[in-house]
């Protein structure tokens, strides 16, 4: 009988140690997963901000593209870059 009680106690002790060990491992892994989740959440927020910035930039590019196709822009570039003027315009230059 004593052997059975001693074996039962030893068995219960081993089971308790194993359960505690498994709980410890699960807790550790959960903490690691929580850290990884927090990093992923931060990265997602960062990427969403980047997406918004890229959308704004794309909108600005589309607006600039539309402006560049106007007659006003073409005239400005012809005057500025090429020095062209209309036939009936008079150009006044300041003396240096």
Is the residue at 89 inside a domain?
no
Q: Is residue 11 a part of any domain in this protein?
A: yes
Widest Cα–Cα separation across the chain: 123
Question: Does 55 fall in a domain?
Answer: yes
> Tokens in use for 90?
């008079």
> What is the number of domains present in the chain?
1
Nearest-5° angle of CA 50, CA 63, CA 66?
145
Residue 96 domain flag: no
Residue 29's pLDDT is what?
97
Q: What's the mean pLDDT when you consider all of the chain?
A: 90
Q: What is the pLDDT of residues 66-79, one digit of tens each?
A: 999 999 999 999 88
Rounded Cα distance, 22 and 70, in Å = 72
Look at the pTM and tell me if it is higher than 0.85: no
- The pLDDT tens digits for 4-41 are 666 677 888 899 999 999 999 999 999 999 999 999 99
Domain carrying residue 52: 2-82
Task: Identify the pLDDT of residue 94.
Answer: 83
Q: Three-class SS of residue 10?
A: helix
- Rounded-to-integer distance, Cα 92 and Cα 63, Å: 34
Give pLDDT, residue 86: 84
Cα–Cα distance measured from residue 19 to residue 11, given in angstroms and rounded to the nearest whole number: 12
């Amino acid at each position: 009988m004593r052997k059975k009680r001693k074996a039962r106690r030893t068995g219960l002790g081993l089971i308790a140690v194993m359960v505690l060990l498994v709980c410890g491992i699960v807790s550790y892994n959960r903490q690691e997963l929580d850290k990884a989740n927090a990093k992923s959440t931060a990265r997602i927020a960062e990427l969403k901000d980047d997406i918004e910035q890229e959308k704004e930039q794309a909108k600005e590019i589309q607006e600039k593209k539309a402006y560049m196709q106007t007659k006003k822009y073409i005239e400005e570039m012809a005057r500025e870059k090429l020095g062209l003027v209309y036939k009936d315009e008079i150009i006044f230059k300041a003396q240096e």
